[in-house]
Every structure is written in structure tokens, then in C-alpha cells.
């Protein structure tokens, strides 16, 4: 009999075609409830998960000893208990490299939209409250020629930097390690985090979520930023303390923010919803037709490889 595979959400058909040799059950579009997930995975050899499902030891044990792989259709894998998987000899691959440019597009979209007050202007127009053009109306911040601070200078952070070069921006970055090759290519300078926050006009966050990066940007860090600065987060929601950010925005201690991720998705902090100077997107960083196809295919290829006793293409660093 073919191996049993559970796909926790509906994914593009391109990914499902890769899994045709297996006995595949696809749950549905919405995230599964916990009890539903625990029941669905019973007897599965492989699980293809997305960022919305918590796959921990309990889920792995529910699947049983035949579970060989949890293939995550995302770059981040903070939703998977990698230590529990290692203890059970379960492979955990992710989907890096296929969504870098698309996510960088969204980061730069949010940067410009927040800086130029696009959301506020659109709401004004749609509500029928735009009465005239005025010399002082909806004044924002220029991006051209400004200093962009990038926190997390991996593939996505560097892709954002390439876009910024087209706007004549000065690039500074903070990362766990120096990136000499990228520094040369992008004319980027390394700064410690405090110096970056104090001097950057725009701060874009691209660090993975880990214990040491949870609330990496909190009240003390926001206090260091310029009053005209714009913060963008397309990494993981808990990297930024949402309540502290909402307070900083409400008190105009920073100019604006653009967010694609949240601490408690799909909820955003209620204070943020009442603010005009924040652009809110519903986690669409990788949401293009082409990129989601590539993510689905890579996740499915990783899963199929392990079930055929081969190595996955993109295992996480365990």
C-alpha cells in the first residue's frame, strides 16, 4: 500500500501532483482545529504542514511510529518542535529560496505605503471624505536617498536591500554574523542594533523567530528610533512587541509602520486597528501565484523524497 500523507491545508495543485503516488488526504482551506489535526494524522507516514499548524510531539505521537517527515510549506519553522522531531527521527524540511523575492516585494510595498500614507489616503477617498487637494494634505516621508536599516541580512533581507539600491538608499544592517560578500555587492555597512535603530530612517525586520528574537523590537528599541522613522515587519509577528509598537505609533514616537505578520494571527492587536499610521496586511508576503506554486512543489518534493528513503532537498538546521 502507498504511504499515507496528510496535507493540513488546501495547497496549489502543482504540489498535489507531486504527491499522486501516495495515499493523500487534504484537510481544507481553513486551519484545522487541534483535535481535528490529532485525529487526521493517525497512521500518517508524512505530514505536509503550513505555518498555521503547531506540529509538536503530541501530533507526532498521534501519527505513530511510522511518521517519517513533517514537510513545512514555509521558510520559518517555529510552528514545528524540531527537537521533538529529532527525538523521533522525523525529518523536518522547509521551503527556503523560493519566496525571497516575493516577500521582499511585500516588504518594500509596506515601506512605501506606510511612508506615503497610502492606506490613510485610500480610506479617505473610499469614505467620500476627500474634499480637495491641499499643499499640506497627507504629507509623508520620502524613501528616496534615505537610510534603510535591515535587521536580519539573509536572503530576504538582501533582496530588500537590492530594491532599496534602486531608490538610492543607504543600506545598513544588523545580523547574527557579518556578511562580507553582501556588504561588497550592496555597499552595506554592519551596525550593532542600537546604532541601527538610532540612525535609520526605515527599519525592516527579516529575522527568524527564536527565543532570542522574541520581542527583539520592544519598547526600549522603539524609543531609540527617530520620530520620522518607519518600521516594517514581514518576518514573524512575535519578533515585534505589538502593544509597545501600538503605543509608539499612537504617541507619534515613530512616524508609521507596515506589518504583514502578527503576534497572535489571525488577530492583530486591537490598538493597531484604530490607528491611521500603520499599514496592515494579512500575511501575504509569499502570496503570489508563482511563489505559492514553487513552495507547494518544494514541500511536496521534500516529503516524497523522504518517503522514498532519500534525503530532502532543504532540511532545516537541526
Q: Name the 3-class secondary structure at 255.
A: coil
Q: Let me know if 253 is a catalytic residue.
A: no
Joined together, the cell numbers standing for residue 219 give 519598547
The distance in angstroms from the start CA to the end CA of the chain is: 31
Catalytic residue among 170, 228, 243, 265: 265
Interatomic CA distance for residues 110 and 155, integer angstroms: 18
In angstroms, the CA 303 to CA 223 distance is 45
Annotation says 265 is catalytic? yes
Which DSSP symbol is given to 44?
-
- Sign of the alpha-carbon dihedral angle for 251, 120, 114, 74: positive
User: H-helix or E-strand containing 271?
Assistant: helix 270-273
| Of 9, 117, 174, 283, catalytic | 283
- Catalytic residue flag (residue 53): no
| Distances in whole angstroms, Cα of residue 314 to Cα of each of 279, 287, 305, 311 | 33, 21, 11, 9
Assigned C-alpha cell, 283 = 500575511
Which DSSP symbol is given to 75? S
Among 116, 236, 269, 292, the active-site one is 236
Q: Which helix (H) or strand (E) holds 162?
A: helix 155-165
Q: What are phi and psi of 17, to 5 degrees?
A: -65, -35
Cβ atoms of residues 8 and 32 within 8 Å: yes
* Nearest alpha-carbon partner for 206 in 145, 162, 248, 140: 162
Q: How many CB atoms sit inside 10 A of residue 275's CB?
A: 16
Instruction: Give catalytic residues, as residue numbers.
Output: 236, 265, 283
Amino acid at each position: 500500500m502507498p504511504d499515507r500523507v496528510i496535507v493540513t491545508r488546501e495547497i496549489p495543485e502543482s504540489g498535489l501532483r507531486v504527491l499522486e503516488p501516495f495515499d493523500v488526504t487534504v484537510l481544507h482551506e481553513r486551519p484545522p482545529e487541534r483535535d481535528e489535526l490529532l485525529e487526521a494524522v493517525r497512521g500518517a507516514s508524512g505530514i505536509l504542514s503550513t505555518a498555521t499548524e503547531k506540529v509538536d510531539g503530541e501530533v507526532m505521537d498521534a501519527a505513530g511510529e511510522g511518521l517519517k517527515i513533517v514537510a513545512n510549506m514555509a521558510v520559518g519553522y517555529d510552528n514545528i518542535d524540531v527537537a521533538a522531531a529529532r527525538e523521533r527521527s522525523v525529518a523536518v524540511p522547509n521551503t527556503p529560496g523560493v519566496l525571497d523575492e516575493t516577500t521582499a516585494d511585500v516588504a518594500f510595498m509596506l515601506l512605501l505605503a506606510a511612508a506615503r500614507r497610502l492606506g490613510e489616503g485610500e480610506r479617505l477617498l473610499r469614505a467620500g471624505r476627500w474634499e480637495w487637494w491641499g499643499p499640506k494634505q497627507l504629507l509623508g516621508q520620502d524613501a528616496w536617498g534615505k537610510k534603510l536599516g535591515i535587521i536580519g541580512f539573509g536572503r530576504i533581507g538582501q533582496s530588500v536591500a537590492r530594491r532599496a539600491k534602486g531608490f538610492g538608499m543607504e543600506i545598513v544592517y544588523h545580523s547574527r554574523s557579518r556578511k562580507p560578500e553582501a556588504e561588497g555587492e550592496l555597499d552595506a555597512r554592519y551596525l550593532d542594533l542600537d546604532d541601527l535603530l538610532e540612525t535609520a530612517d526605515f527599519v525592516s525586520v527579516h529575522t527568524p523567530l527564536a527565543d532570542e528574537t522574541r520581542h527583539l523590537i520592544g519598547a526600549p528599541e522603539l524609543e531609540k528610533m527617530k520620530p520620522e522613522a518607519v518600521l516594517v515587519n514581514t518576518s514573524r509577528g512575535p519578533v515585534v512587541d505589538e502593544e509597545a509598537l501600538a503605543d509608539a505609533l499612537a504617541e507619534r514616537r515613530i512616524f508609521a509602520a507596515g506589518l504583514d505578520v502578527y503576534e497572535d494571527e489571525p488577530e492583530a492587536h486591537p490598538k493597531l486597528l484604530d490607528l491611521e499610521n500603520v499599514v496592515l496586511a494579512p500575511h501575504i508576503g509569499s502570496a503570489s501565484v508563482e511563489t505559492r506554486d514553487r513552495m507547494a512543489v518544494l514541500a511536496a518534493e521534500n516529503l516524497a523524497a523522504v518517503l522514498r528513503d532519500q534525503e530532502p532537498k532543504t532540511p532545516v538546521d537541526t
